[in-house]
Structure 1
């Protein structure tokens, strides 16, 4: 008889683990702790194997059945040897979706092709040991790429956990390497955070000859959004004194509201005379059909005499955050304006509404403060 969700929920805990069968080799194991795990019986090379499909209810009854069917269906991953490359490429394919940033997928693919596939790509995923993985990661560290080593370690963990969930590997061996890697060196975006330095910066920006570039930097300083969000700003996103950035343009894929100070609105009105007839507020110098290059802001800073180690467009965020924190603005309000989104979606929605008025006040204070040091 097939299992039901009601039967799983009502299953009593016993002193010893026991199982309740579903169909086609699928069953759920009830532990004395009350936890419930999906298992699948199947045959490989004439031997019975038990595959782990995840824990209920994180993996639902319907999902467990789908995993069972996927494993038992024909294909290179249905049975026999599954290489790490097979599993990783399947996992990566499932990461591709309309809301996913293309660069994110390219970065994952590059790490696989460069740091993993040449060494463990052809290995049976079940045969890869923690020491073998550590050897691969040590090669990356030896090149001085400590942050990359940590990211590759995380990537292997994601692939392995997918393998456990789909019954292609027994456990995530990357978990055994916690603490085994050298800590990555923490680096901060170059930023000017002292009032005297900020005075020189905003004055230098005001002297730029290109109207579009000048106001791109000013709006960037006033709003302290990420450079990619700034350069892709569209006129259709401006609603009076509010900039509504759609989710697909945001790093965390959640829409973001940016209150515009009087000074920011003035900058936009001045640049409208040059680009108001097109789609983008700050278009490319070659065509109004594309936004300005991602290097335009930093190139302007270099022409102004600022070196890369002194300030970047991304550094405007640290600059504003430092001054706002030093002047007593609530950290939650600052973080929300920086679009450092709360992971708890209920709280995030609450904060979105709760802080908008306060953020309006803060953004105007910031623009007034800038005027105070500039003049």
Structure 2
């Protein structure tokens, strides 16, 4: 006879080893002096086995029958329910350590050498204050786009729109780290591309008049700061890459024989590889730096430890020391200098300039250029630019701005 709730509630053990009370389909209640236990006997690969289904009253009669039916379904599919239970337990145990916070802290540790100490502190603080309280305890594989968006909305509501976007990028890096580690299926922040308010346009102070640019170049060549800072300052106008890309340059990325710097996608804002042709002047400067830091990883290592690259404040601090306030010129301003003068003075092709700035550029058919597009033409353009900067610095052949018109 099938068991009843009343019987189960009232039945007591009659012997120390316990009594079995069958319910059907292999399910029975094992009643011991210490408690009442649900069990299921079954055969798998001609072997008799027993599956534990829970303890009464935490698991009711109806609950035990449901678990029995689920086990019988697994058997019908050729699966051992005891093994399935163990696998599920192992998966849940492993997942317990794969929270967003655990993955984020591991990512921060693993990539610490790639950023300045101040940036490491800032990124950690952003996550601790804004993200961990919201989704830090959630299993990273279970987090949905709406979970991340809810946390970002709170940042946005404070008026910190730019911070919300930067923190979203941080979260994306953590998710991609989890994907690479096999602990998440995808980066869910990709679904939030247009979900946040647009960041107000950021203006980076820059010198864009040729005569003023010539004065700046002379100041750079007269600057007597740390050799790494001097070299970075001299290369900044020649290469006009983003400041973070310049200071994190690695010798493994630079081929001085081929006069080419290959910046991997992982370091680029647009997430694609970027090729920077090196003028003859840039190669000479790099060979000089190689004599100082060539045995290490970074072209411009930190003065404290070779395990990290130069501080993000080094170039701007040098500009301040040279007498250029932040309202006049910044490390990022070398990009605007190149963009303006190359276009409006030298008449270089705008698409080549934009490509060299690592901006998204498309051909006439709307297709994005690949990293090697127009490389010979860009090599020639970068050499013309370097030669022009030399002329500006020595005060010769200065062409007035807007000469193109």
TM-score (normalizing by structure 2): 0.53
2:262 paired residue number? 245
CA contact 1:137–1:149 (8 Å) conserved in 2:
yes
Q: For the residues of structure 2 that align with 1:291 and 1:173, how far apart are their CA atoms?
A: 28
Q: Is 1:370 matched with 2:389?
A: yes
Select which of 292, 298, 322 maps to 1:275: 292
Q: For the residues of structure 1 that align with 2:289 and 2:143, how far apart are their CA atoms?
A: 62
Once the two structures are superposed, the pairs formed by residues 313-352 of structure 1 within 5 Å of their partners are 313-326=331-344, 327-340=346-359, 351-352=370-371
1:31 paired residue number? none
Query: Once the 2 structures are TM-superposed, how far is the Cα of residue 173 of structure 1 from its aligned partner?
Result: 12
Q: For the residues of structure 1 that align with 2:90 and 2:136, how far apart are their CA atoms?
A: 19
After superposing the two structures, state which structure 1 stretch, 244-253 or 104-113, moved more. Answer: 104-113
Unaligned runs of 5+ in 1: 1-42, 48-68, 163-167
* 3-state SS of 2:261 partner: strand
Select which of 142, 147, 156 maps to 1:141: 156
CA distances 1:247-283 after superposition (whole Å, capped 9, x unpaired): 27732665543222233234345x3596277446545
CA contact 1:215–1:267 (8 Å) conserved in 2:
yes
Q: Is 1:114 matched with 2:132?
A: no
Query: Once the 2 structures are TM-superposed, how far is the Cα of residue 299 of structure 1 from its aligned partner?
Result: 1.7
* 3-state SS of 2:260 partner: strand
* 3-state SS of 1:352 partner: coil
Q: For the residues of structure 2 that align with 1:281 and 1:119, how far apart are their CA atoms?
A: 39
Q: For the residues of structure 2 that align with 1:146 and 1:371, how far apart are their CA atoms?
A: 41
Q: 1:314 and 1:129, CA in 2 relative to 1: closer, same or farther beyond 3 A? A: closer
Query: Once the 2 structures are TM-superposed, how far is the Cα of residue 334 of structure 1 from its aligned partner?
Result: 2.0
Q: For the residues of structure 2 that align with 1:283 and 1:173, how far apart are their CA atoms?
A: 32
* 3-state SS of 1:201 partner: helix
Q: For the residues of structure 1 that align with 2:251 and 2:189, how far apart are their CA atoms?
A: 46
Specify the structure having the higher radius of gyration (Cα): 2
Alignment RMSD (CA, Å): 5.5
Q: For the residues of structure 2 that align with 1:210 and 1:92, how far apart are their CA atoms?
A: 37
CA distances 1:199-239 after superposition (whole Å, capped 9, x unpaired): 22112112112483333211121111233443335388342
CA contact 1:229–1:249 (8 Å) conserved in 2:
no
2:282 paired residue number? 264
Q: 1:359 and 1:98, CA in 2 relative to 1: closer, same or farther beyond 3 A? A: farther
1:202 paired residue number? 217
2:251 paired residue number? 234
* 3-state SS of 1:257 partner: strand
Query: Once the 2 structures are TM-superposed, how far is the Cα of residue 242 of structure 1 from its aligned partner?
Result: 0.7
Query: Once the 2 structures are TM-superposed, how far is the Cα of residue 321 of structure 1 from its aligned partner?
Result: 2.0
* 3-state SS of 1:258 partner: strand
CA contact 2:231–2:285 (8 Å) conserved in 1:
yes
* Number of aligned positions between the proteins: 296
TM-score (normalizing by structure 1): 0.56
Q: For the residues of structure 1 that align with 2:112 and 2:304, how far apart are their CA atoms?
A: 28
